[in-house]
Copies of this chain bind each other. A is one copy, B any other.
Amino acid sequence: MTTTGRQLISTLSADGTMVLELEEKTFPQPTGNQVLVKMEAAPINPSDLFLITAGADLENATYEAGKVTMQIMPQLAAGQSGRHGKPQTVGNEGAGEVIAAGEGEQAQALLGQRVSCVPGNAFSEYAIADAMMCLPLGDHSAEEGASSFVNPMTALGFVETAKREGQDAIVHAAAASNLGQMLNRICQEDGMSLVNIVRKEAQVELLKDQGAAHVVNSSDDDYMKQLTAAIDATGAYLGFDPIGGGKTSDTVLRAMEQVAAAKMTEFSRYGSNQQKKMYIYGRLEMGPTILTPSYGFGWTVSGWLLMPFLASCDMQTMIALRQRVQDGLKTTFASSYKTRVSLDEMLTKDAMMDYAQMSTGEKYLVTPHG
């Protein structure tokens, strides 16, 4: 038995032309511990946008039914020579119904159930997924389970990373995002102090209403003062930054150093002995990361990605994390969406110009059969 349906394909040419197209595809009968999922809901995460809108001239793109042709910034296109001419599927995660399963025990156990999954081609009517990575949703809707992997596991990964490094406090930038709100809830549950950095007064209120103790607004004139006070109060010398470009991490490192230096009794030309660390886990800004020589030599800036983190977890930890997500789908790990679009609507100019902005709290949900 085979199943036929449409899926989104992204193809970049060496000349910088990127084509997004809904292509008819035949999905084979799953084998082993594979399952075939009829995709009902899939979020458009910032990490998905890299293959959809990153560096694209959306204003001057050509929009046809089920097909968009656009130009990518030359340096970005050149940096992706590995995918030139190689069609890529898109969509990290989603949820739907298991309509066929391989002969494997885990796969068979999921047959007929609604699950969340991480197929890598979630923007599709159907997807083959690994049963090991599927989360049975029980009575939850596909929409409730659609974002149960990337954001929940990332937020849990931040807390786990901080604990591993002996820290009991975290700084988080762009903290009003779905991910940030989740992190805020997890930190409260786990007794991990959290310094939330946001850009708008409404976001300050949002997080405070959700119990956040420390929210600082980078748009305020006294941002640096707010930030140092919060770092001083929490002892947060480890942070996570999804913006990447510009001075977000630099500013946090400067604030950390100011707090540490204020506690020193003697001046040192090398700065404080306090180790300060920022993880960059996204690229909401594609410009270069700027690090000023303002915090001595006791600092580290490092990339952070979900998959290598998960690879560093043992099976026991993985199962515990997944169980925690499953138990908290409607509470701790709940996501919200600005709007729902079909696969066709996802490729319209209005939608693309909107979700490409990755505005905080304005996430799109794709409903392939909706």
Partner of A281 from B267, B288, B297, B305 at Cβ < 8 Å: B297
**Is A109 part of the binding interface, using a Cβ–Cβ cutoff of 8 Å?**
no
**Smallest CB–CB gap between A271 and chain B, Å?**
8
Q: Which residues of B contact A268 (CB under 8 A)?
A: 82
User: What is the number of residues of chain A that contact chain B, defined by CB distance less than 8 Å?
Assistant: 42
**Is A269 part of the binding interface, using a Cβ–Cβ cutoff of 8 Å?**
yes
Query: Which A309-328 residues have C-beta < 8 A from chain B?
Result: none
User: Are the CB atoms of B288 and A245 closer together than 8 Å?
Assistant: no
User: Are the CB atoms of B291 and A298 closer together than 8 Å?
Assistant: no
Candidate in A250, A261, A281, A303 with the most chain B CB atoms within 10 angstroms:
A303
**Is A113 part of the binding interface, using a Cβ–Cβ cutoff of 8 Å?**
no
Query: Which A280-311 residues have C-beta < 8 A from chain B?
Result: 280-281, 283, 286, 288-294, 296-305, 307-308
Interface residues, chain A, with chain B CB atoms under 8 Å away: 47, 50-51, 79-80, 82-83, 86, 88, 244-245, 250, 261, 264, 267-270, 273, 280-281, 283, 286, 288-294, 296-305, 307-308
27 CB < 8 A contacts A-B: A47-B269, A51-B269, A80-B267, A82-B261, A82-B268, A86-B267, A88-B267, A88-B269, A245-B293, A270-B305, A283-B293, A288-B291, A288-B293, A289-B290, A289-B292, A291-B301, A296-B303, A297-B303, A297-B304, A298-B303, A298-B308, A299-B303, A300-B301, A300-B302, A300-B303, A301-B302, A302-B302
